[in-house]
A = this chain, B = another copy of it.
Amino acid sequence: MDTLIENQRVAVPKKLEKMFGHLDYKNPPELCPVRDVMSVASDQWSILILLWLGYYPVLRFNKLKKYVYGISNKVLSQRLKVLEADGYVSRKVYAEVPIRVEYGLTDFGKSYVKRLLDLTEWMQQNSPKVLANREKYGLI
């Protein structure tokens, strides 16, 4: 592009170059797999679900609902279905009475949760700073 040269690039170019092949604004978003995958994997509720499933190897529907505080039946089952379809979550049904369904992470899901934990760990460590920033910003 003509204007791309206007600005200098930051110093971590390798990663970025690779990333922005996909995020290039000339590619319509519906063709960008990263945005596609992201829309599922970085959804607020999905993150919480995945984290809890990372914590407990196996959780049943209502247990999960209790842990993912505030989530509704509808959203929980929606998210679980999508997360299963995308390969993060496994679902095992036991034909007992009453029925028992156990959710867990696939190996793929575990590998994602590992990354996710790095991010949320950062958030946890830095949340005081963010809240302080927000405070300060409000006062100016």
Contacts and interface: CB of A to CB of B under 8 A. Distances in A.
Contact of A118 (B57, B115, B131): B115
Given A54-B16, A84-B137, A85-B137, A34 B120 contact: yes
Interface residues of A, number: 72
Contact of A22 (B12, B19, B23, B124): B124
Contacts of A76: none
B9 A56 contact: yes
Interface string A105-136: 00010011011111111111011111101100
Contacts of A68: 25
A68 to B, nearest CB: 7
Interface string A2-33: 01000111101001101110110101110001
A59 interface: yes
A69 B25 contact: yes
A122 B91 CA distance: 24
A124 B24 CA distance: 13
